[in-house]
Amino acid sequence: MAEPPASHPIAVLYSAETIAARVDSLARGIAQRELWAPLIVAVLKGSFIFAADLIRALHAHGLKPEIDFIFLASYGGGTSGGPVEILRDVQSDITGRDVVIVDDILDSGRTLLFARERLRSKGARTVLSCVLLDKKARRTEVVAADFTGFECPDRFVVGYGMDLGNHYRELPYIGIIETAG
């Protein structure tokens, strides 16, 4: 039998309106980099809504991005430094391309570090990164994003594509789960 829908108290951290304004300014910043035929590589699953909004904002700023996806899973969590596994790799030919990795949260940094190395090793000309949230308190790797939407407190957040056990991705805002993390 299916589980009942999850229900946790959630406090709004960034509203839909605040997110939309920030996505537009991120797109403006990316457009200013004069990338040649940029390829957006969205890290599944958490970044799918952010990436969908970002490519439309890039269009509004005059870019014609292509989009591809990489599905990564990291194990061991937090500070234990477990491996990152590729569940689905990019399909595009990356050789000589200007690539922008798009992810939801920069947490330990292992996912972004892995994705960056992977795309460089496939021959990208440039690899930039754009993350929606930066949870600086939990960083274990020396890695920073080129574009960051918002700072994120050291709390568990959901919504706008991000989940808790696959729930809450549909929320139009980013919220803090008040009883977890």
Catalytic residue ranges: 107
106 binds, among Mg ion, ligand IMP, none (CB under 5 to 8 A by kind): ligand IMP
- How many Cβ atoms from other residues are within 10 Å of residue 113's Cβ? 17
**Residue 93 or 178: which CB sits closer to ligand IMP?**
178
**Residue 79 or 121: which CB sits closer to ligand IMP?**
79
150 binds, among ligand IMP, Mg ion, none (CB under 5 to 8 A by kind): none
**Residue 61 or 84: which CB sits closer to ligand IMP?**
84
Record the tokens describing residue 34, joined without a space: 């004069």
* Residues lying near ligand IMP in the complex (CB under 6 A): 46, 74, 103-112, 135, 156-158, 162
162 binds, among ligand IMP, Mg ion, none (CB under 5 to 8 A by kind): ligand IMP
* Residues lying near Mg ion in the complex (CB under 5 A): 46, 104
